C-alpha cells in the first residue's frame, strides 16, 4: 500500500508541474488564436502522440512524455520552436509587432493568473499555515561556524552581508548566498548591535550552514514560501525571492554560491513531492511559487525565452524596423544550445545531489539551549526531506527543521 501511495504522489507531482508549463503554453495558444495567427499544434506533453485530433486546422494532442507541453505558432516564433519541435519550413507570415508582443507576454501572464488563483485558494483555506520564525538564536552547535564567529544564544540576527533579515528563512537564504565567504553578521545583543565575522560552510548537497538553531517552539513550523496569508503578499514574496536570486547571480561575490544553490527539474520535482506529501497546502504554495518563477524567468530579455520575443517586438514598434530573421535565427539557435546545455548540467547535478541530500549534517553538540524549548529545538540546516531548491531563481527554500535533543 505504501508503494502505491508513493507512486500516487509522484504522479500527482508530475501532473502539477506539467500543469504549470501547459498553462503557460495555453496563454500563448489562446492569444495567437484570437489575434489571427496560424497555429499548427497544441500539445500537452512532449514526444510521440498517444491521442490527437485536428479541429479547425489546429492539431490538438496528448503526448507520451507528460512534462509540460508546447504550442507551435510559426508566425510568432519562426525559428526558436523549430529547433525543439522539428517544425515545418513554411513561410512566415509577418504580423504587426504589437501582436507579437501580446502573444509573447500571454504565456507568463497566464502563470501569474494561475499563481493568484492558488493564492486565493490558500487565503481561503483555514488549515493552511502562514507565519514566520524570528531570526533569534536558540542554540549554537559546537565547533560550528556560528560558535567560531562568536554568535550566542539569545542573539537576534539583523543583517547578513549587509542585507537586512527579519525572519529565520531570510537569514538562511542570505547564509546560502554567503557560502564559504567571511561575512558580516549584525546581531542585537543586550540592547546593542554587535558585528560578527562568520564564514558559512557548505555540505555535500550545496547547502550552506552556520550551525545555529532557532528559538522557535516545536509547533511553529512554517514553509518558507508561506510567510503571509494576504493574496498579493503571497505572490509578491514569490517575485521578490526570484529577483533576490537573480541579484545574487549578477553580484560577483555572491555569484558562485548562488549558482551552487540553483536546482534543476529533478530537485524541483523532489521538492514538490516532499512538500505535497508533508502538507498539501504547503505543496500548493510551492506550486504558486513555481508559477511566479516561470513567469519572471521567461520575461528575461534572452532570445528563445518570451522576454527575447518581447524585446524584438518592442524594438520593431519603437524603431519601426524589424530585426532581420537571420539575426533572430542565429541568436535563437545560440541561446537555445546554451540553455539546453545548462539544463543538462542541472539535471546531472540534481541526480548527484539526490544521492547526497540524504546525508545529514553532523550537528555536533548543542552548546546552549534555552529552557523554554522543552529540551527540543529545530536544527537550522538539516538536509531533511522537505528541503527544496528553485531551478530558475537559485533561491534555497527554508528546510523544515529537524528535531535534535539537547545535550
**Amino acid 204: pLDDT:** 63
Give the position of cell 530579455.
301
- Parent domain of 388: 95-407
Task: With beta carbons less than 8 A apart as the criterion, state whether 238 and 288 touch.
Answer: yes
Query: Does the residue 139 lie in any domain?
Result: yes
CA gap 406, 128 in Å, rounded:
30
CA gap 278, 226 in Å, rounded:
14
Query: Does the residue 199 lie in any domain?
Result: yes
Helix (H, G, I), strand (E, B), or coil: what is residue 32? helix
Helix (H, G, I), strand (E, B), or coil: what is residue 30? helix
**Amino acid 373: pLDDT:** 37
Strand partners, 69: 44
pLDDT tens, per residue, the chain with 407 residues:
667 776 776 777 777 778 888 899 999 999 999 998 988 899 888 788 899 999 888 999 988 877 677 888 887 754 444 444 444 445 667 789 999 999 999 999 999 999 999 999 999 999 999 988 889 998 888 889 999 999 999 999 999 998 999 899 889 889 988 888 899 999 999 889 999 999 998 876 667 889 888 877 544 578 888 999 999 999 999 999 888 888 888 888 777 777 766 766 666 767 677 777 778 898 899 899 989 999 999 999 998 889 999 999 999 999 988 888 788 888 888 888 888 887 787 777 767 766 554 444 344 444 444 433 333 333 333 333 343 333 333 333 333 333 332 22
Query: Does the residue 51 lie in any domain?
Result: no
Tally of domains in the chain: 1
Query: Does the residue 263 lie in any domain?
Result: yes
- If we measure between CA atoms, which residue out of 113, 336, 95, 388 comes closest to residue 223? 388
Query: Does the residue 124 lie in any domain?
Result: yes
Decide: residue 304, CB within 10 A, 0-12 exposed, 13-18 middle, 19+ buried. buried
Q: C-alpha distances in angstroms, 232 versus 113, 122, 288, 297?
A: 12, 12, 12, 19
Query: Does the residue 347 lie in any domain?
Result: yes
Query: Does the residue 181 lie in any domain?
Result: yes
Query: Does the residue 81 lie in any domain?
Result: no
Amino acid at each position: 500500500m505504501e508503494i502505491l501511495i508513493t507512486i500516487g504522489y509522484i504522479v500527482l507531482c508530475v501532473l502539477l508541474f506539467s500543469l504549470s508549463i501547459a498553462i503557460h503554453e495555453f496563454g500563448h495558444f489562446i492569444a495567437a488564436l484570437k489575434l489571427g495567427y496560424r497555429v499548427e499544434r497544441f500539445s500537452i506533453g512532449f514526444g510521440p502522440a498517444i491521442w490527437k485530433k485536428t479541429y479547425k486546422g489546429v492539431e490538438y494532442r496528448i503526448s507520451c512524455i507528460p512534462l509540460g507541453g508546447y504550442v507551435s505558432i510559426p508566425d510568432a516564433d519562426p525559428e526558436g520552436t523549430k529547433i525543439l519541435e522539428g517544425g515545418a519550413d513554411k513561410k512566415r507570415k509577418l504580423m504587426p509587432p504589437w501582436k507579437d508582443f501580446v502573444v509573447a507576454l500571454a504565456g507568463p501572464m497566464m502563470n501569474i493568473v494561475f499563481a493568484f488563483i492558488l493564492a486565493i485558494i490558500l487565503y481561503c483555506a483555514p488549515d493552511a499555515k502562514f507565519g514566520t520564525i524570528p531570526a533569534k538564536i536558540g542554540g549554537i552547535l559546537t565547533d560550528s561556524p556560528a560558535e567560531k564567529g562568536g554568535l550566542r544564544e539569545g542573539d537576534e540576527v539583523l543583517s547578513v552581508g549587509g542585507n537586512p533579515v527579519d525572519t529565520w528563512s531570510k537569514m538562511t537564504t542570505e547564509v546560502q548566498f554567503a557560502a564559504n565567504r567571511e561575512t558580516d553578521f549584525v546581531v542585537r545583543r543586550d540592547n546593542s548591535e554587535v558585528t560578527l565575522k562568520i564564514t558559512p560552510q557548505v555540505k555535500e548537497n550545496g547547502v550552506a550552514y552556520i550551525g545555529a538553531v532557532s528559538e522557535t517552539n516545536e509547533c511553529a513550523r512554517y514553509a518558507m514560501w508561506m510567510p503571509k496569508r494576504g493574496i498579493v503578499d503571497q505572490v509578491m514574496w514569490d517575485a521578490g525571492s526570484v529577483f533576490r536570486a537573480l541579484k545574487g547571480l549578477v553580484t560577483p561575490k555572491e555569484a558562485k554560491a548562488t549558482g551552487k544553490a540553483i536546482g534543476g527539474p529533478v530537485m524541483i520535482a523532489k521538492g514538490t513531492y516532499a512538500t505535497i506529501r508533508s502538507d498539501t497546502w504547503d505543496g500548493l504554495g510551492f506550486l504558486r511559487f513555481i508559477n511566479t518563477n516561470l513567469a519572471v524567468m521567461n520575461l528575461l530579455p534572452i532570445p528563445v525565452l518570451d522576454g527575447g520575443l518581447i524585446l524584438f517586438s518592442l524594438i520593431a514598434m519603437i524603431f519601426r524596423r524589424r530585426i532581420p530573421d537571420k539575426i533572430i535565427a542565429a541568436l535563437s539557435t545560440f541561446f537555445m544550445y546554451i540553455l539546453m546545455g545548462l539544463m543538462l548540467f542541472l539535471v546531472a547535478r540534481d541526480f548527484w545531489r539526490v544521492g547526497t541530500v540524504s546525508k545529514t549534517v553532523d550537528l555536533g553538540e548543542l552548546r546552549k539551549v534555552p529552557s523554554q524549548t522543552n529540551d527540543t529545538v529545530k536544527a537550522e540546516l538539516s538536509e531533511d526531506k522537505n528541503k527544496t531548491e528553485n531551478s530558475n531563481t537559485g533561491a534555497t527554500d527554508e528546510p523544515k527543521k529537524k528535531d535534535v535533543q539537547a545535550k
